[in-house]
Amino acid sequence: MMRRLALVAALVLPGLAGAEVVRDISRPMVVVAGFDKARLVGEWFEVARSDSVLEVDCHGVTTAIAARDDSRFTLKIACHKGRVGGPVLPIDGVMAEVAPGLYQVRFVRLPQFGNLELAVLWAAEDDSMVVIGSALGQVGWVLTKVATPDEAAMQVGVQVLVDNGYALGAISPVKQ
């Protein structure tokens, strides 16, 4: 256990010092009104993201969101370090809904992040894609149910991040 914590610290903490501003926080974020949290449950592929100290050198990132008995969600992010087939760094957390489309996440092994506030900024009607961001810009994600969405769909997700204050140059595709 201590060895795993040391690995997490060694891989994540160096990125904290060099964190860049990726979101104009003077721009309000637009949260999906009346979002039903059950729509988040499932397996997701991270196909685009903003620069983030949370996922330094992560590739082939997948996210699993599962309902719990206590109305919260379990969040499991699998970050492949260095390359798509690289070793997996698990990033686990618990998500609690604070309002429709707004969540507080506490990462189990990363207490330095405190409670990260996440917002659902857009969701496809068929639940094939969701865009999630944080008010302070710590993360911005385009998540899909397929590993390689068509380019037009991905650009819709990227544009939602930009419309919510994220710098276009700070958003990158994630290879699966």
E strand spans, 7-128: 42-50, 58-67, 73-81, 88-99, 102-107, 115-123
Taking alpha carbons only, the member of 107, 88, 108, 105 closest to residue 96 is 105
Give the model's pLDDT for residue 66: 98
Three-class DSSP category at 153:
helix
pLDDT at 13: 38
Which tens digit of pLDDT belongs to each residue from 14-43?
343 344 679 999 999 999 999 999 999 999
Contact 140, 29 (CB under 8 A): no
Residue 114: per-residue pLDDT = 82
What pLDDT is attached to residue 53? 86
In the prediction, which pLDDT does 54 show?
Answer: 84
Mean pLDDT of the chain: 88
Residues of the chain with pLDDT under 70: 1-20
Length, in residues, of the chain: 176
Question: What are the tens digits of pLDDT across the range 130-148?
Answer: 999 999 999 999 999 999 9
Report yes or no: 164 and 29 within 8 Å, Cβ to Cβ.
yes
The predicted pLDDT at position 110 comes to 81
Burial class of residue 106 in the structure, from the number of CB atoms within 10 Å of its CB (0-12 exposed, 13-18 middle, 19+ buried): middle
- Return the pLDDT at 20: 61
The token duo for 59 is: 């590739």
Q: Radius of gyration (Cα) for the chain, nearest Å?
A: 15
